[in-house]
Chain A
Amino acid sequence: MPKVSNWAFTEYVISNIHSQRISFSVDDHQFYMLFTPVLESGDDQSVLQRGKDIGFVIPPLSFDVKFDRVENFESDQYYQLPSNNFSMMDFSKMRRLGVAICQLLEFHTTVTGAQVYFASAASIELKHFYDRLVRQHAHRLNYTIYTGLGEEELDYAIKTPKYTI
């Protein structure tokens, strides 16, 4: 399965919060993965509550990760399906997208030392897609993944190999 061979890694800082964005494409489909540090971005109360919700204390170098199409982010129309102007996201492209997400998550872990990621599925279809990725890749990446979290059971928590108790 071909991996992503080039991408853009962006670091941006505001209010002393260091966030990252990865830009990559699968054929004509362009995507952003966006990483925001959890402890620095939330207040103590909300971080404590999040820790209680998932059953472990949120460590430093924990990130919220979001994923969307570039044109959605640039036009402020988040999580929209692609228009007919793009090629069809067929099964093969979806598999390549899944491999790319895992590859770039691993890259981010290597660069930042991330211990935990938090993510949510925007739809039940995406939840199925992410659950498949968990089944296919979590063991190989040595990630521990908590699925079905949150009130709507659409949230995930991902402990990376960098996680320390």
Chain B
Amino acid sequence: MRSKRRNTQSKTLARKIEAMKKIKQAYLAAQEAGTVKTYNISVD
């Protein structure tokens, strides 16, 4: 019998994975649109 904990962890992980996919899509769309700016930070 599968534990409830394993099922519920899978739900959270699935939700996170879907969110990451959307983030990736947004980032790639921003790259296409030329709205990505990167700053390199160095501290002592």
Chain A residues positioned under 8 Å from B41 (CB to CB):
6-9, 107
CA distance A150 to B19 in the complex (A): 16
**Chain A, residue nearest B17 (CB):** A78
CA distance A159 to B8 in the complex (A): 26
**Chain A, residue nearest B26 (CB):** A14
**Chain A, residue nearest B15 (CB):** A120
Chain B, 12-24, contact with A by CB distance < 8 Å: what is the 0/1 string?
1101110111011
CA distance A124 to B29 in the complex (A): 33
- Using CB atoms and an 8 Å cutoff, list the residues of chain A in contact with chain B: 3, 5-15, 17, 19, 21, 34, 36, 64, 66, 68, 73, 76, 78-79, 107, 120-124, 150-152, 154-155
Given contacts A14-B29, A79-B20, 10 further A-B contacts (CB under 8 A): A6-B40, A7-B41, A10-B37, A10-B39, A11-B37, A11-B38, A13-B30, A13-B33, A122-B13, A152-B12
25 contacting pairs across A/B (C-beta < 8 A): A3-B43, A5-B43, A6-B40, A8-B38, A8-B41, A9-B41, A10-B38, A11-B36, A11-B38, A12-B30, A12-B31, A12-B35, A13-B30, A17-B26, A19-B26, A78-B16, A78-B20, A78-B21, A79-B13, A107-B41, A120-B16, A122-B16, A151-B11, A152-B11, A154-B9
